Amino acid sequence: MICVFRCDANQQIGLGHFVRCLSLANALFKRQAKCFFIMSSPNSSIQKALKDNHHQLLVVTHSTTLDQIDDIKQSKILIESKQIQPDLFIIDHYQLSAIWWNEFRKPKIKVFVLNDSKQLINNVDYIWQMAPFNKEEIQTHSEPIVFSGSKYALLREEFHQSTPVSPSKNLHDSILISIGATDPDNTAEFFIKNIGELLPNINLTLMTSSLNIHLPQLRENFSHKNIHFQIDPKNIVEVIQQHSLMITAAGTMMWEAFSLGTPVLLLKNHPNQQTNIDLITPSLAELYIGEEKNLTMVNIIKKINTLLKSTEKRLDIQEKMQKLCDGRGCDRVAKKLVDIHNNA
């Protein structure tokens, strides 16, 4: 089975699309699939990640904004020059629409769209989305196969191979702050500054990437305080499990923390995260602290104290989180895709 991914990663859109595509590609590779990535301007760490995981990179070039027609032309040239005969295109990109994938979808070439924008998706064979799926919205002759809900969260393999840390374990009241790989609005500074002042005995760690343009200033501002920095960590599972509480956005990192059973406080810093918030609200509404630009520190400190002081509360939250997400989403999706291909 030959799979071609189309995704991008940069300071504007972050790394999330690439990370979940890489996670799915690794699960497909374990099932003997060969995976190619078409990307624009991938940095050196992305190139290394693809090489280390035995996937091939094809690079398209855009001067400024992405033009779909030009992207199609470049992608076709790359695929033909490498004599690639795809069985499946996997698209995870806000700026690409049916204009793009209709050029590649054929009777024997399937299209799989990863959709977390709540846009209407038509003329595809597979859809992945966290939101509940409404069949009546689909306007196509054949009904797509849909992977919907938290059981299909696309997480890295290490997140379903790890054992959750017991809430009763003494983790010295430490909080991990991770507001995405780039944190454009520098929300991490808001948390570090305020928690550091209001709860001075709490150990704080900032986990981010080298793409974060605020990092030099953060290091300068907080170098004299009890703040630890984890930049581009290779052992993300270990970093998360070393902390008694995590503050993050309601994106992929939220599901990663859920799979490990690490209590989290969640903010929304992108409209597409509302779906995840809606999914957890019935059982874990108390974890949500609000939209990024409207955070109330008094409320946040109250929630932090509640979670750090009550082992019983932490255990209850851990059980609910792991019921929602066990970290095996990539395996479920990859198995289904390969089984369908092999039985076609």
Give the pLDDT confidence of 310-321 residue by residue, as tens digits.
889 999 999 999
Specify the range with the lowest mean pLDDT, choosing from 104-118, 159-173, 214-228.
Answer: 159-173
Give the length of the chain: 344
Categorize the per-residue pLDDT at 180 as very low, low, confident or very high, splitting at 50, 70 and 90.
confident
CA angle 196, 201, 207 (to 5 degrees): 55
Residue 14 scores a pLDDT above 90: no
- Using DSSP's 3-state secondary structure scheme, residue 104 falls into coil
Mean pLDDT calculated for residue range 132-159: 77
For tokens 């509404």, name the residue: 285
Q: What is the pLDDT of residues 233-268, one digit of tens each?
A: 989 999 999 999 999 999 999 999 999 999 999 999
CA dihedral 260, 5, 41, 43 (to 10 degrees): 30
Mean pLDDT calculated for residue range 321-332: 94
- Using DSSP's 3-state secondary structure scheme, residue 112 falls into strand
Residue of 138, 104, 105, 102 whose CA lies nearest to 120: 138
Note the helical H segments in the chain: 16-29, 44-52, 68-81, 98-101, 187-198, 215-222, 236-241, 252-260, 274-284, 297-309, 311-324, 329-343
CA–CA separation, 21 and 6 (whole Å): 9
- What proportion of the chain, given as a percentage, has pLDDT over 90? 74
Residue 141 scores a pLDDT above 50: no
CA–CA separation, 47 and 135 (whole Å): 38
Residue 223 scores a pLDDT above 90: no
Model pLDDT, residue 169? 54
User: Max Cα separation, the chain?
Assistant: 63
For CATH 3.40.50.2000, list the domain ranges present in the chain.
2-155+328-343, 159-324
Asked whether 207 and 215 are in contact (CB, 8 A), the reply is: no
Which CATH architecture fits 159-324?
A: 3-Layer(aba) Sandwich (3.40)
Residue 175 scores a pLDDT above 80: yes
pTM over 0.75: yes
CA–CA separation, 18 and 20 (whole Å): 6
**DSSP letters of 150-215?**
GGG----GGGGSSPPPPTTS---SEEEEE--SS-TT-HHHHHHHHHHHH-TTSEEEEEE-TT-TTH
What's at 79, amino acid-wise? I
Which CATH architecture fits 2-155+328-343?
A: 3-Layer(aba) Sandwich (3.40)
